[in-house]
Structure 1
Amino acid sequence: MKKEIKMIKNQTWLITGVSSGFGRAMTTQLLAQGKTVIGTVRNMTKVQDLLDQYPETFIGRTLDVTDINAIHQLIDELTKTYQIDVLVNNAGYGLFGAAEELSDAEVERIIATDLTGSIQMVRAILPSMRAQGHGRLIQISSYGGQVAFPGNSMYHAAKFGIEGFMESVAQEVASFNIGVTIVEPGGARTEFRYGSAQVAKALPAYEGNPAHAFQTMLNPENGLAPGDPARMASRIIESADREPAPLRMVLGSQALQSTIETLEKRVADFKTQTKLAASTDFPAGE
């Protein structure tokens, strides 16, 4: 029988990428609630205000999530001092452009950041969560982990991949009282869309191609994204106290509608393949 989890009042959260976006919004809300937050950044100057305002409860650490050795060293150091109750894999960025336009270095870097980095953070933290008898893993994905658009192939590759990884891990660790939630936000007014997004060098052959439709989305003059980062951060924080952990959580009405429509089309297509699928089985009795 699964042991009951008692929620901890003085939770300690480890969040990657807290200098901006959802990571920053979650951190400020959690600190205001009296929680302890260990936040990782690539540049510590971007969180100096938090270090000054919350000297007892905000612990800043420099981390590049593409550095696997650094991940393991950081987790080893932290777990000697802190009981980490919640890990939020938030660090990541968007890369736009047709698959052919992307450089090898761009492909490797986004996989290392948005996919491998999250995988290694989970692998590193699991031993301590198992030992303490509880934990919550929150993976910031995107509705782009279910719905694909042209011009965003490698971002989708990373998000589809991390969702499969986390769904599998959720089944592996449930008996240890470790819950997993995959967060699938829609468009939000963060630096992800209006600051940190990277764009591949364009090829003339793709001018006017659907692969470049993202250019309209990235221009704030064409209208801002509907998602409120502060409200989204609140829903993510609240999910850590839900039992059982919600496996997936879509944030944003447009994102939910698009996800439902995509999945319904996918299921409808699968249902047309009944005879095809059965045609490759051995006949009954053989």
Structure 2
Amino acid sequence: MSTWLVTGATSGIGRAVTEQLLEGGAKVAAFGRHLDGIKDLMEQHDDRLWARPVDITDTAALRDVVEQAFEAFGNIDVIFSNAGSGAVGAAEELSDDAIHQQIALNMVAPIQLIRAVLPHLRKQGGGRLIQTSTMGGQITSPGGSMYHASKWGLEGFVESIIGEVAPFGIGITMIEPGSVRTQFGAALTIAEPMAEYANTPVGSVHRAIKAMGNLTGTAPRDPERVAKAIIDVADHYPAPRRLALGSDAYEAIQQALTGRLAELEEHKSITLSTDFPEGE
């Protein structure tokens, strides 16, 4: 039996992970802005589900509820940092508030969560951190600049601290799903379109969203299978640095990495020309 802390536990992948953990006999500390999405689980598993409402962008409140969770359970084996949202629009279409909210929720809040749990994981002799990112943490597309910025920034932070915390027995994995059949698309922040972008790739994105509504509501990736893969990876040693989930994620990330390597090699002579000549 294990004990997990899950943020964004009330919907989508977070809800699926929480439910599967409880069905398997685990204990869960579940965080969500509102708890309506897991009321049924709270009633069924009130002995093993410790749920608290919290706005994780409120750093003081987040630290407080993390302290409460460790006090309630003692040791927590796995931290699943999953809360996040998306924003769509050209960089100059997005409002200042939308930019702030995207960075606050997708990057700053996970960083502060990790900072809050690390002292506890060190004290207990180790543990596992699983951070939800996205295939958009390694690829980009027009209209997603701030979403990608938040995820690329988060991945840079997480990859950096892997080496910092490994000596304490703490393993970290970044989860990079493709499009999963959840309500994520219904919660997108969509910028007001500018006429100047109507005939650009961003304009095409706006028209697709308007025509299709919740783009992830019909995605071919199964949230239950995604949840199972996330739970299973917690038992992999050593912890994989990244885990892509879904055929779309695999194909897009492979293409992006291959393209970057090819471009690096294409300009190798210019790159190396900036070194001092040998002997100088």
Q: Which amino acid aligns with 2:98?
A: E
Please give the residue correspondences for 1:12-91 in structure 2 after superposition, counting only pairs within 5 Å: 12-82=3-73, 83-91=75-83
Query: How far off its partner does 1:208 sit?
Result: 2.9
- Alignment gaps of 5+ in structure 2: none
Q: Which amino acid aligns with 1:239?
A: V
Structure 1 residues 52 and 174, CA, compared in 2 at 3 Å: closer, same or farther? same
Query: How far off its partner does 1:274 sit?
Result: 1.8
1: CA distance, partners of 2:188 / 2:108:
19
- Conservation of the 8 A alpha-carbon contact between 1:151 and 1:213: no
Query: How far off its partner does 1:272 sit?
Result: 1.7
2: CA distance, partners of 1:33 / 1:221:
31
Question: Which residue in 1 is equivalent to 2:230?
Answer: 236
Structure 1 residues 198 and 55, CA, compared in 2 at 3 Å: closer, same or farther? same
Query: How far off its partner does 1:142 sit?
Result: 0.4
- Conservation of the 8 A alpha-carbon contact between 1:137 and 1:179: yes
Question: Which residue in 1 is equivalent to 2:274?
Answer: 280
Q: Which moved more, 1:223-232 or 1:171-180?
A: 223-232
Aligned length: 276
- Alignment gaps of 5+ in structure 1: 1-9
RMSD between superposed Cα atoms in Å: 1.5
Provide runs of 4+ in structure 1 moved above 4 Å.
220-223
Query: How far off its partner does 1:155 sit?
Result: 0.5
Alignment equivalent of 2:205, drawn from 214, 224, 227: 214
Confirm whether residue 92 of structure 1 aligns to residue 92 of structure 2. Answer: no
- Conservation of the 8 A alpha-carbon contact between 2:98 and 2:189: no
Question: Share of identical aligned residues, percent?
Answer: 43
TM-score w.r.t. the length of structure 1 is 0.93
Question: Which residue in 2 is equivalent to 1:130?
Answer: 122
Question: Which residue in 1 is equivalent to 2:256?
Answer: 262
Tell me the secondary structure at the aligned position of residue 5 of structure 2: strand
Query: How far off its partner does 1:214 sit?
Result: 3.1
TM-score w.r.t. the length of structure 2 is 0.95
Q: Which amino acid aligns with 2:34?
A: N
Structure 1 residues 105 and 240, CA, compared in 2 at 3 Å: closer, same or farther? same
1: CA distance, partners of 2:17 / 2:271:
46
Q: Deviations 1:124-162 (Å, cap 9, x if unpaired)? A: 100110111111100100000001000000000011111
Tell me the secondary structure at the aligned position of residue 188 of structure 1: coil
2: CA distance, partners of 1:255 / 1:230:
17
Q: Which amino acid aligns with 1:118?
A: P
2: CA distance, partners of 1:161 / 1:245:
21
2: CA distance, partners of 1:111 / 1:182:
18
Query: How far off its partner does 1:45 sit?
Result: 2.6
